[in-house]
Structure 1
Amino acid sequence: MSLLHNRFGLKPNPSQAFPKLPQFSAFMKPCRFEGEVRDLEVEGTIPPEIHGTFFRVMPDPAYPPYVDDDGWFNGDGAVSAFEIKDGRVQFKQRYVRTEKFVAERKAHKMLTGKYRNKYTDLVELQVRTTANTNIFPYKDFLLAIKEDAHPYAMDAKTLETIGLYDFEGQLPSTTFTAHPKVDAKTGEMLCFGYEAKGDGTPDVCYYTIDSEGKFTQSVWMTAPVVGLMHDFAFTDNYVIFPIIPQLCDIERLKEGGSHWEWDGNCPLYIGVLPRYGAKGTDVKWFEYKTSFPGHTANAYEDDSGNILLDMPLSMSNVFFWWPDAQGVSPDPRTIKSDLVRFTINPAAEDLQLAQPEVLIDHDVEFPRIDDRWGGKKHRHCFFDHMDPSLGTDFAAIGPAMGGGYPPYNSLGHLDLETRKLDVYFPGSTHMCQEPVFIPTTDKEGEGYLLALVNNYRTMMSELHLVSTADFSKPAAVINLPMRLRAGLHGNWVDGQDLQLDFD
């Protein structure tokens, strides 16, 4: 690997300071911490049945960028692990040793350019990924994932990077979803890759992996547009692929442009493919008016064979930092995503979707369910929730927030049978990151939510543990002696499956 001439005039940043931009300032200033802290301070009581580890990952650039106004999504993957056992909490954090990270640490500076644009780099890398979007348990290790490449395997106890992982040579595509799904009933892991034959390609590859790690099928499809396919859903008989109208153009990349650009004329496409025994030509691409599908909550089939798909939906470009071709993007304060339910007849000849049912007319994102109910009818849905009337002191915390995704000042729990909404409000100077659900009984939705919470008064991070039976107060607040910037996704691993090496 050698330094290359960058034809766009971009050079390594000689400064050791991060730009004074919102995405690198205040609470979003890069943390750059590796290490461990034992016996975190706990306010309240952690129930003894809570035994396991919460893994999460955040984009956290190790070096200042050399491109102008670099986006916050472009940080190196930093994985956090919080082990909870016997009412105590231990914390570890390590960077994923990607090819990019290792090269830049050796050079003591950033060598890669714009988000998912290899043409702006100063070095040529075989695998450019930052592995910064999800950290997912698989067998007895972890997969650090960004959907532009294969995942990196990490030791689940030490957080040491094992290396790039291709499932023992079975992975058919060049990319791997940041949101693999596990069917609790069958033990299968369902996955896909988009831009599966390289940047700017419309190819999508869906595959299933049995509980022993063997690939049982691979189905190649062609998407109607080269769009952002961040999340998907499954039922007993189908897999469902929403496409966000953020589109990629390879010629734009070659000219040094952004990987993604919002297209206000592109419909929302939702692909429906039979889960088993399908060919690529069996996929149906249903259409709805231009809108932004958020992370999927769940999908299942009703008694009539219809697919019911629950997810947040916005009529605005939620990823406002990637504007349209005219440079226009919405004011983040105006963005709102309702939790909706699409009803899709997979046998329909008419591929135009009807107006979805609004399950809750509130601004929500990062939905989670009790994962044991994935693919079947669920009653409980948890999510990040924004309600300005709750009492957040926006004037006080605004200067401390920095730039990132739209903020959420509370956690929500929606009972889909009664439509009752419970809201947990952590405080007037707090914002919530993605929650994870921790089951404590065999009954759906009985357990706890655990979420990393930003405290903008102390400029420290906290973990809030909330019982799903009582959203009025936290069961415990776990204080970190540091600040962890906005993360993307994480997962809970039960202590029977894994114990960290803190001895």
Structure 2
Amino acid sequence: MAESLPSVRFSTHPQFSGFMKPCRFEGDTENLEVIGTIPPEIRGTFYRVMPDPQLPPFVDNDPWFNGDGSVSAFRIESGRVHFKQRYVRTEKFQRERKAKKALAGKYRNKYTDAVEFKVRTTANTNIVYFNGKLLACKEDAPPYAMDPDTLETLGLYDFEGQLPSLTFTAHPKLDPVTRELVCFGYEARGDGTPDICYFCVDATGKFTETVWLVSPVVAMIHDFAVTENYVLFPIIPQTCDLERMKAGGEHWQWNPDIPFYIGVLPRRSAKASDVKWFRAPNAFPGHTCNAFEADGKIMLDLPISDKNVFFWWPDAQGNAPDPREITSNMFRFEIDPKSTDLELPPARCLLREDIEFPRIDDRFMSHEYTRAFCSLNDGSAPTNWPVVAQRMGGGFPPYNTIGQLDLSTGELTKYFPGDMHLVQETVFIPRSHGTAEGNGWLLFLVNNYDTMLSEVHLVDTEDMSSPKAKILLPVRLRAGLHGNWVDAAELETFEPNVGALRI
């Protein structure tokens, strides 16, 4: 008798409902409908990735970002847009597709799985282009390499055997001058270990720096920042306990009783003893905006919340904030890397708005800058919340506006996409190679809760009052996490399919 398999039906939890209902779509659509005009000088591809479970999860009330990595590519050429969508063929994805049912258990807890995986990842957090390959990243494992043209999965990628860490950041930083890829992994020797491995890869793909560190706490380090001479590791007070995991508990638990640590390490020729762990009051650091050096000090800009943003992982007593009360404002920490006093002075607020997903003109990464772009929740904007709230489903806090902050003046310019729309993370496209900082376009996915379909909006940074173009998709894409713009000239430099390990 044939084995009886569970029906392919997702739960009615918010993270699987409304706009967040799994898409489970792979395919191609050429010549997407464009309302407006895309300037002909925009040539390249916008890549983004979303968690999208191919099958109902093994754990019923699974966090929304535990889904399989699904990569979108929007290729723009001569004012036209071609769309491609593919899943990352991870070990998890392929084994579950063969079994026709979910096999992986709780988020980052291998002790709750139905089977043992060699490499347990969904590759669903960021999609980065480096040396002719797309790297689908999630911070619990090495990345998966993909063909940037076809989105074929080439295999788990360990930089031709050079990767020393079991994990790899979801936010590697590409130096705009040296073209080095600056990276790290935390829990780098395995689940529950305090080890951090910092490493740097030169433009040819060769490892040039490797430093092993020990974190003051075993906790989440989702993003980090890079200056010309330092790397900085902001630690989120979501802590890991291996015994809790073995008992079937969560990988993460909020700890309100520890400081907000920021590790500072020299970027080159460093050793483990060179790291300094600066301390600030307990807080939840968001994605880093940028960092740079000025007058011997390090400036670190990032959103900060005084509450546990990942409220679905409460503290040991089960306490969690009301998600409607969680906000993050942009702050600047000023750090003296030579100081022996590790208590940081209070950070300065740069923007008193509820923001996340800050981005910059990437040509200014690690250098002094004046323009920051972000997703923000504008309480004064006329979003039709009574209807949108019923249709959005569960997920990341909703953002209804894209903002552009001039750090030299404090002026905030906003783009509002409409009363039935929410925005996702933006990317910046410079108008030309040598144009001034921030002079170009913003490109980002938009959720349309009227049509229940997705759109991509293109906005000129010099006039954010209305979009240059709206690109309409014939499908609905769930909330994604991160993406990047890759210029056509850069894509044409490399031959794909080189150096990946096939599985």
Distance of 2:97 and 2:352 partners within structure 1: 46
Per-residue deviation, 1:13 = 7.7
Q: Using the alignment, how far apart are the partners of 2:311 and 2:457 within structure 1?
A: 29
Confirm or deny: 8 A CA contact 1:207 1:218 kept in the other structure: yes
Q: Which residue of 1 aligns with 2:153?
A: 161
- Amino acid aligned to 1:470: D
Matched, 1:84 2:80: no
Paired position in structure 1 for 2:442: 449
When normalised by structure 1's length, the TM-score is 0.96
**TM-score, normalization by structure 2:** 0.96
1:242 aligns with 2:234: yes
2:452 aligned residue (454, 459, 468):
459
- Could you say which residue in structure 2 is the equivalent of 1:172? 164
After TM superposition, list the pairs within 5 Å mapping 1:37-436 onto structure 2: 37-303=29-295, 305-436=296-427
Q: Is the 8 A contact 2:425 2:445 kept in 1?
A: yes
The amino acid across from 1:225 in the alignment is V
Residue 68 of structure 1 and its aligned partner are, at CA, apart by 3.1
Instruction: List gaps (5 residues or longer) in structure 1.
Output: 1-11
Q: Tell me the CA shift for residue 498 of structure 1.
A: 2.2
When structure 1 is superposed on structure 2, of 81-90 and 328-337 the one drifting more is 328-337
Name the structure 1 match of 2:468: 475
RMSD: 1.2
**Which secondary structure does the structure 2 equivalent of 1:79 belong to?**
strand
Contact 1:301 1:376 in 2 (8 A): yes
Distance in 1 of aligned mates of 2:65 and 2:348 = 31
Which amino acid in structure 2 is aligned with residue 38 of structure 1?
E
CA distance in 1, matches of 2:275, 2:401: 38
Residue matched to 1:497: 490
Partner of 1:7: none
Cα-to-partner distance string for 1:99-150 (whole Å, 9 max, x where unaligned): 0000000011101110000000001110010000000001111000111001
Report Cα offsets for 1:348-398 as digits up to 9, x if no partner.
111111111100100010000011101110010000011121111111111
Is contact 2:309–2:326 with CA below 8 Å preserved after alignment? yes
Q: Secondary structure at 2:391's aligned position in 1?
A: helix
> Residue 5 of structure 2 contacts residue 100 of structure 2 at CA under 8 Å; is this kept in 1?
no
Aligned to 1:8: none
Alpha-carbon separation, structure 2, partners of 1:235 and 1:13 = 52
Amino acid at match of 1:444: E
Letter of the 1:323 counterpart: P
Distance change (3 Å), C-alpha of 1:44 and 1:120: same
Q: Deviations over 1:425-446 (max 9, x none)?
A: 0011111100000011321111
Superposed displacement of residue 320, structure 1: 1.2
* CA shift digits 1:236-291 (9 cap, x unpaired): 11100000000010011101111111111111100000111111111000011110
Q: What one-letter code is carried by the residue in structure 1 that aligns with 2:96? A: E
Q: Distance in 1 between matches of 2:225 and 2:97?
A: 38
Q: Which amino acid aligns with 2:456?
A: L
> Secondary structure in 2 aligned to 1:15?
coil
Residue 57 of structure 2 aligns to a residue whose secondary structure is coil
CA distance in 1, matches of 2:60, 2:136: 27
Per-residue deviation, 1:90: 0.3
C-alpha separation between the residues in 1 aligned to 2:353 and 2:33?
A: 34
Aligned residues: percent identity? 63
Letter in 2 for 1:105: R
Aligned partner letter, 1:111: L
2:402 maps to amino acid: L
